[in-house]
Structure 1
């Protein structure tokens, strides 16, 4: 004989005993997630504030005296078509504007483009990387 009701497998005693434990585990995970959200929000606020004050030197101090090629690579001083080091570090806000289509202060378009290409190539462990990475973080 067929019925229209879907068949439900019988619940084993071990499954019934595990249900309260699973509920407690879900509550703990939810509490942990909520505390993570609460601790991330202040960090994002700090990041937003640090963007305006962090600085990126082009090139970093370890490669001072070198030039920056149009593609952002560091090349020896005097390389044809490359640009001398920036006279001062750029703030995160200045870099952010340049990355969004503007130019870095005190530079013409080509030089600004070379410098922003250098900044895009920054690697972890390089001076200025943390500032650049903070520019890439989405804002809440």
Structure 2
């Protein structure tokens, strides 16, 4: 019985701290929306959405561990699994998009040099929407 109560105690506190961090992320999203920079304003909705999803996930884990509701704990576990799979998919896609293998050898350096124009035009437009380079691609 002691192992179970220790486990729920740890889950409660980790999720409580995660809820506080999620509130800070949503607040950061609101702060980003107040700036005139187009890049910051374009990230407002994704940042606030991420904060909201993290908040809901940690709320389910916190309440499930606090009240010992197995349905909420299973929901928390499934949501956590989906988030971890999404992180892995995002990482693989990021490597696929950015890894073109067209680095240029630089004399005297052990590393290749990569230039922005080496990547796909879609990626350059997303990375530099207001720059002259992004507008001409």
TM-score normalised by structure 1 residue count: 0.28
Q: Larger relative CO (CA 8 A, sep 6+): 1 or 2?
A: 1
Q: Which has the larger radius of gyration?
A: 1
Of Structure 1 and Structure 2, the greater helix share is in 2
